[in-house]
Amino acid sequence: MIPIIKPYLDEKELEQISQVLSSGFLTQGPKTLEFEKIVAEHIGSKHAFAMSSCTTALHLALVVLDIKPDDEVLVADFTFPATANVVVQLGAKPVLVDIDLDTFTINLQDLENKITKKTKAVIPVDAFGCSADYDEILKITNKYNLPVIEDAATTIGTTYYERYCGNLTTMGCFSFHPRKVITTGEGGMITTNDDDLAEKIKLLRSHGGVKKGAWFEYEAAGFNYRLSDVLGAIGVAQMHKLSYLINRKRELADELSQRLANIPHVQLPTNPKWGGHIYQSYVILLDEKINRNKVIEAMKSQGVETTIGTYALHDQPFFQKQFGYKTGQLTNSHIAFTQSVTLPLYPQMTASDLDRVADTLKVAIASA
């Protein structure tokens, strides 16, 4: 079986973990701090705070913006449910926004159309290693004085006009899940240049406690969203490999695109005009006359693992029951949800692996 992804791990991660185990300091500590510093320096942000996941990062980002019940937060619809779940968990309303099919990122016209007096924040979503169009997004949000939280789960190392994702808006939130370009197993990070927000994040990430002498005083009802030093150590090793991993994925994506170029009914991923795509996932879009689910099953039967791109939230039962959305209401997101396919792409792939993926896809489409 050719899997969708294989994390790229070697003795460097073991060396970093060994240092932590030898120190006896297993909770959030010096290795996590080192990981934070490396990420902040890489993307150019003033502050970086390691978190237990991207989900907790997004949740805490909303908390420090003081999102309240009945507030509205605009969320790109084509995303993993966590992006909108964190809004719901604060009692606020996620207002789902359609996407563009060329980049799978938020549609600017639909974004502006859905801003109301209740709108308190916007969460665009970077898709599969491709940045959203932040200059244009900020032109809109600045008119309404709205903060922007970049869901940069897939874009550590991605650039937008040569500027790094996670350092483009009010706050950025990364994921280090095993399907991402670098991984800590589970883990995430918030980045920001806002000193006041940084102080709030620092306080609330760890129970709301402030060190006063030999003990803490608890100034807020905070959370336990910390990242352990064991996972921080993996992050340190992975960040040292980031440039190689991105270059390798771009090389493989180009080679796979060459192999798929003449297969009918397939839209290949493209690097947008602002550049910087890192191909965290290689996601194609099939013509609507092709049965996407049959393609996935046919490829699986031949030993090539694939899956959907991600979810159209407005098509999901919870968002329909809770907020009244109807299937297909957000047209482009619905098409992306029903017709996208994620193909295998990871640094260890060989030329024969790429050949097999392309050949298997061609046969699967012909029979779908």
**Class of the domain covering 11-239:** alpha beta
Is the separation of the CB atoms in 332 and 101 below 8 Å?
Answer: yes
d(CA 347, CA 339): 26
Count of residues in the chain: 368
Catalytic residues: 180
Q: Which two tokens stand for residue 73?
A: 């937060």
Strands (E), the chain: 47-51, 72-76, 93-97, 119-123, 149-151, 159-160, 163-164, 171-175, 188-192, 209-212, 215-218, 266-267, 282-286, 340-343
Q: Can you give the pLDDT at residue 204?
A: 98
The answer to whether residue 323 scores a pLDDT higher than 90 is yes
3-class DSSP assignment, residue 125? strand
Q: Considering the domain delimited by 242-367, tell me its CATH architecture.
A: Alpha-Beta Complex (3.90)
**Residue boundaries of the structural domains of the chain:** 11-239, 242-367
CA atoms within 13 A on the CB side of 255: 19
Helices 54-64/195-205 angle, 10° precision: 120
pLDDT in tens, 338-365: 999 999 999 999 999 999 999 999 999 9
pLDDT in tens, 54-102: 999 999 999 999 999 999 999 999 999 999 999 999 999 999 999 999 9
In terms of phi and psi (left: phi > 0; alpha: psi -120 to 50; beta: otherwise), the region of 91 is left
The answer to whether residue 219 scores a pLDDT higher than 90 is yes
pLDDT in tens, 128-186: 999 999 999 999 999 999 999 999 999 999 999 999 999 999 999 999 999 999 999 99
Q: What is the mean pLDDT of residues 200-222?
A: 94
Q: Can you give the pLDDT at residue 300?
A: 98
The answer to whether residue 25 scores a pLDDT higher than 90 is no
| Amino acid at the residue 111 | L
Which residue did the predictor score with more confidence, 27 or 184?
A: 184
3-class DSSP assignment, residue 30? helix
